Structure formats: structure tokens, C-alpha cells
Amino acid sequence: MEIPTIVGAGLIVIGAGLGIGKIGGSAMDAIARQPEASGKIQTAMLIAAALIEGIGFAALFAA
């Protein structure tokens, strides 16, 4: 039985969403703990999120 690509796409979105959510949550924790380092944390968070997003998009296009 062939699995429709939309299922794969859904899985990708779930994975990417979880990943980015985790990054965002951790960043919030880190900012709450060290508000003075929020600038650096935000930068690192965006970079990490962007990388996951990139992988997610690549997978979406493959699906």
C-alpha cells in the first residue's frame, strides 16, 4: 500500500514543529534565568530554529 505524500509532509511538520518548539521553550527558560544574555540567546535560538526549518523545508520538497 502506498502511503500518500501528505502523510509524510504531516510527519515532517510535526517533527519540525516539535524541534522548533523545544528550541523556543529552552530559549525562554534561558532568558528567564539570565535576562541580561537575552540578545545572545535570541540569536542562537533563531539560528538553531532556522537550521531545523531549513531541513524541514528540504524534506517537504522531497515529499
Partner 1 sequence: MRRKISLKPITLLLFLSTFFFYGQEEVEHIEAKPDKKTEIKEYIQHHLKDSYDFSLFSYEAESGEVKHISFPLPVILWDGGLRIFSSSKLHHGEAVAEVDGNFYKSYHGKIYKTDASGTIDYNEEHHPINEKPLDFSITKNVFTIFIIGFLMFAMFASMAKKYKRGNAIPVGVGRFLEPIVLYIRDDIAIPNIGKKHYKRYMSFLLTVFFFIWIINLLGLTPLGVNVTNNIAVTLALALLTYIITTFTANKNYWGHIFWMPGVPWPMKIILAPIELLGTLIKPFSLLIRLYANITAGHIVLMSIIGLMFIFKNWLGSSLSFGLAFALSLLELLVAALQAYIFTMLSALYFGSAVEEHHADH
Which of 11, 2, 9 minimizes the C-alpha distance to 63? 9
Q: Would you give the end-to-end CA distance of the chain in angstroms? A: 17
Choose the binding region for partner 1 from 19-27, 29-37, 41-49 (rule: CB under 8 A).
Answer: 41-49
Spatial distance between the Cα atoms of 13 and 33, rounded to a whole number of angstroms: 30
Q: Counting contacts by CB under 8 A, is residue 3 touching partner 1?
A: no
Q: How many residues bind partner 1 (CB under 8 A)?
A: 17
For binding to partner 1 (CB under 8 A), which residues are involved?
Answer: 5-6, 9, 39, 43, 46-47, 50-51, 53-55, 57-58, 60-61, 63
